[in-house]
Amino acid sequence: MKTPDSRFYCPLITVGTIVLDENESSHAVRVCRAANGDTLQLCDGLGHYADATITKADAKACEVRVDTVENAPLKCPRLNLGIACLKDDALEEVVFHVAQTETDSIVFLRTDYSQEPKNSDLKKTVRRAELKSLVSLKQSKKPWMTRIEGPIEFDKWLKDYQGDLILCDIDGERNLKLDDEDCAGNEMRADNASEGNAPAKPVTLLVGPEGGFSPREIEAIKTFKNGKVHLLNLGNTRLRARTAAIIALGKVL
């Protein structure tokens, strides 16, 4: 039996027979040329995975048998990225790279200097970003899928947010040292948490649009009261927003 060097997405992994959706079935049978008896690695993006044996290699509805469902040894990450809405395909590019890392969510923020139409709902961009996050989940073989949230007005997001913040700022530290508890993961995400097992507060890295956050927004971040605020210096050169997001994550992760 062979195992394709990829994971296959299955939103509900259970013991027994599972029928994969058409996209995953086609990828397994047509692209990877998997056949009856071969093994596929399934993941649900929520910390569960399983080895599944193909019982019917159908490119439209591939049937597999799961004997055991396993829990990921890694906890759900607490780190999130809050990035201002950007023009063109910049947000999709950011998602493509960030979703390969241990980042819990990416929030699209509408800021004072955002470079997208104020009346745009960004539905197409969000949907394409979700697809890129799914591809990154399977390619990177991580147990937790990076969620895509927004777009949301920055002021509303900051008002409702409970957790720590990291702001990319020229006056920040070059080598930011976070406590172990600041970087630690959770046993489960907030939407799956049971009573008495609530997750710890998140940590969100904030990256502004081209031109940065407005002075008003920077002041609101620096005076934030519902968590710690860290300032992170990314170097002496001026970076594009999409570049800053990747460099900043590399310094924090």
**For residue 199, what pLDDT band results from cuts at 50, 70 and 90?**
low
Burial classification of residue 194, based on how many CB atoms lie within 10 Å of its CB (0-12 exposed, 13-18 middle, 19 or more buried): exposed
Contact 29, 13 (CB under 8 A): no
pLDDT (average), residues 182-203: 54
Distances (CA, A) of 140 to 100, 146, 184: 6, 11, 20
**Lowest mean pLDDT, pick from 3-12, 194-203, 225-234:** 194-203
User: Class of the 79-252 domain?
Assistant: alpha beta
Among candidate residues 112, 119, 126, the one with its CA nearest the CA of residue 155: 112
Mean pLDDT of 39-54: 95
Which range has the top average pLDDT, 100-109, 119-128, 177-186?
100-109
* E strands in 59-213: 63-66, 70-71, 79-84, 105-110, 147-153, 164-173, 203-207
- Which regions of the chain carry the CATH code 3.40.1280.10? 79-252
Q: Is residue 104 over pLDDT 80?
A: yes
In this prediction, residue 119 has a pLDDT band, given cuts at 50, 70 and 90, of low
Distance CA 75, CA 61 (A): 32
Q: What is the pLDDT of residue 3?
A: 73
Position 189 pLDDT exceeds 60: no
CA atoms within 13 Å, Cβ hemisphere of 166: 26
Q: Are 46 and 144 in contact (CB under 8 A)?
A: yes
Residue 193, pLDDT score: 44
Residues of 107-129 as b/e, b for ≥16 C-beta within 10 angstroms?
bbbbbbebebeeeeebeebbebb
pLDDT at 177: 72
Task: Look up the CATH number of domain 7-71.
Answer: 2.40.240.20
Q: What is the pLDDT of residue 4?
A: 74
Mean pLDDT of the chain: 89
How many angstroms separate the first and last alpha carbons of the chain? 37
**Where residue 6 falls among pLDDT bands split at 50, 70, 90?**
confident
pLDDT score for 94: 96
Residue partners of 47: CB distance under 8 A and separation at least 6: 71, 72, 74, 76, 143, 144, 188
Q: How confident is the model at residue 120 (pLDDT cuts 50, 70, 90)?
A: confident
In the chain, CATH 2.40.240.20 covers 7-71
Cα 184 to the center of its chain, rounded Å: 16
pLDDT (0 to 100) of residue 149:
97
- Partners of 164 in the β-ladder: 203
Compute the average pLDDT of residues 6-19. Answer: 95
Give Cα separations from 115 to 112, 126, 132, 209 (angstroms).
9, 16, 21, 7
Lowest pLDDT segment from 28-37, 41-50, 117-126, 218-227 = 117-126
Question: Any idea which of 8-17, 135-144, 175-184 has the lowest mean pLDDT?
Answer: 175-184
